[in-house]
């Protein structure tokens, strides 16, 4: 029988698991607490009897992540981790220090199969999904390493969270649990390239996280060229789903838009974008594209970005430009794993 990773279980699943092996249900809470603290062996669970610890280690395991590489920015303390999973695969996470608290950007898959043309994470395709416990481990082991509480999470690292839906939802439940890391849903953002089917599923669950949509272009011609997912769910289908999501949850959606020189940054394109988003409870976050070795995309000029913003704001759409943190450690997603693979 394959051993199970206890961190892949929710509390109620852990209770069921314990009952099945003839143990008391209440132990689940004790074990859950220890797991969230980042223990790496059953012997660290000092309020659990030796017998039970032995029994657990025979049929289950505690996943851990090793820090393969760690880069700390001298400018703003942004810390980038290359984590090694138990099977040797690598994922990235980035810890950022903001005035409102410490935020971690985490990965949801090893690699990605979405194929966005400007993105480093997708170049080698998808290797596998992360389990719920492995996603949680990124937060647990980064927090353990920095020795301070992480209060915010953005799911914007490697992978497409809505392409690993069940594990991501279970992770969200566990990271939110007050007995564990206790990170409020309102402090969590999930970013998707637009898998509409699962945006609808997420809406049904009514979890008050912030949804970010990687839009990057307002027309099918252009978006289809840089984001293959657009061939499955086109721009209007995506925006309609977002409108319904906002109506149902009453939560503002954030649209991510990478500014790529000469590709998607003209004022004409800004006008089309403004028309499509007008009146919606949303906000646009512009990201000057990170130049990836394997692609030919270049950042838009600052002046062009300003013109683009002016068009959006004229339509009443709040627009921000993402502040670049950790510029000295190349903290952008997917690039550390790539450089390690090369
Ligand atoms: N798969 C999810 C989350 C991971 S990517 C998604 O697509 O949203 C996190 C964000 O970074 C997305 O908005 C993505 O489009 C963007 N991104 C990817 N590569 C980038 C690059 N080279 N420069 C700027 N943003 C990039």
CB contact set of 304 (below 8 Å; sequence gap of 6+): 259, 261, 265, 266
Distance 275 CA to ligand 1 centre (A): 23
Query: Alpha-carbon distance 187 to 184, whole Å?
Result: 5
Pocket of ligand 1 (CB under 6 A): 114, 116, 118-119, 156, 160, 191-193, 214, 256, 258, 287, 289-290, 292, 333
Q: Residue with the nearest Cα to atom 18 of ligand 1?
A: 119
336 phi, psi to nearest 5 deg: -70, -45
Tens-digit pLDDT string for the chain (342 aa): 789 999 999 999 999 999 999 999 999 999 999 999 999 999 999 999 999 999 999 999 999 999 999 999 999 999 999 999 999 999 999 999 999 999 999 999 999 999 999 998 999 999 999 999 999 999 999 999 999 999 999 999 999 999 999 999 999 999 999 999 999 999 999 999 999 999 999 999 999 999 999 999 999 999 999 999 999 999 999 999 999 999 999 999 999 999 999 999 999 999 999 999 999 999 999 999 988 877 889 999 999 999 999 999 999 999 999 877 777 787 566 777 777 776
pLDDT score at 184: 97
Question: Of 92, 134, 138, 203, which one is the catalytic site residue?
Answer: 92
Q: Residue with the nearest Cα to atom 19 of ligand 1?
A: 119
> Which tens digits make up the pLDDT trace of 257-312?
999 999 999 999 999 999 999 999 999 999 999 888 778 899 999 999 999 999 99
Q: Residue with the nearest Cα to atom 15 of ligand 1?
A: 214
Percent of residues in the chain assigned helix, strand, coil, to nearest 5: 40, 20, 40
Question: Of 112, 119, 282, 333, which one is the catalytic site residue?
Answer: 333
Q: Residue with the nearest Cα to atom 12 of ligand 1?
A: 214
Return the closest-CA partner of residue 10 out of 170, 148, 168, 126: 170
Q: Is 119 a catalytic residue?
A: no
186 and 130 Cβ atoms separated by less than 8 Å: no
Give the residue, out of 156, 189, 286, with the most ligand 1 atoms within 8 A of its beta carbon, to mutate for a pocket test.
156
Q: Is 116 a catalytic residue?
A: no
């Amino acid at each position: 029988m394959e051993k199970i990773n206890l961190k892949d279980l929710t509390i109620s699943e852990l209770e069921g698991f314990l009952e099945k092996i003839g143990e008391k249900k209440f132990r689940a809470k004790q074990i859950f607490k220890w797991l969230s603290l980042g223990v790496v062996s059953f012997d660290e669970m000092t309020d659990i009897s030796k017998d039970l610890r032995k029994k657990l280690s025979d049929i289950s395991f505690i996943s851990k992540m090793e820090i393969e590489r760690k880069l700390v920015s001298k400018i703003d303390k942004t810390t980038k981790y290359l984590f090694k999973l138990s099977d040797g695969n690598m994922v990235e996470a980035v810890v950022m220090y903001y005035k409102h608290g410490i935020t971690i950007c985490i990965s949801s898959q090893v690699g990605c199969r979405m194929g966005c043309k400007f993105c480093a994470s997708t170049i080698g395709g998808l290797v596998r999904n992360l389990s719920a416990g492995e996603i949680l481990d990124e937060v647990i082991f980064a927090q353990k390493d920095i020795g301070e509480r992480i209060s915010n999470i953005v799911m914007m690292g490697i992978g497409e969270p809505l392409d690993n839906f069940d594990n991501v939802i279970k992770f969200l439940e566990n990271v939110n649990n007050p007995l564990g890391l206790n990170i409020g849903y309102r402090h969590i953002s999930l970013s998707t390239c637009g898998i509409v089917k699962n945006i609808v599923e997420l809406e049904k669950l009514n979890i008050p996280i912030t949804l970010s949509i990687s839009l990057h272009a307002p027309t099918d011609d252009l978006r289809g060229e840089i984001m293959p997912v657009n061939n499955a769910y086109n721009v209007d289908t995506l925006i309609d789903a977002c409108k319904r999501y906002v109506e149902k949850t009453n939560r503002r959606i954030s649209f991510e838009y990478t500014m790529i020189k000469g590709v998607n940054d003209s004022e004409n394109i800004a006008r089309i974008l403004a028309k499509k988003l007008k009146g919606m409870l949303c906000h646009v976050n512009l990201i000057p594209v990170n130049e990836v070795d394997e692609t030919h995309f270049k950042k838009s000029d600052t002046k062009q970005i300003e013109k683009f913003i002016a068009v959006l704001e004229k339509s009443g759409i709040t627009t921000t430009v993402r502040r670049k943190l950790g510029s000295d450690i190349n903290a952008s997603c997917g690039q550390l794993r790539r450089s390690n693979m090369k």
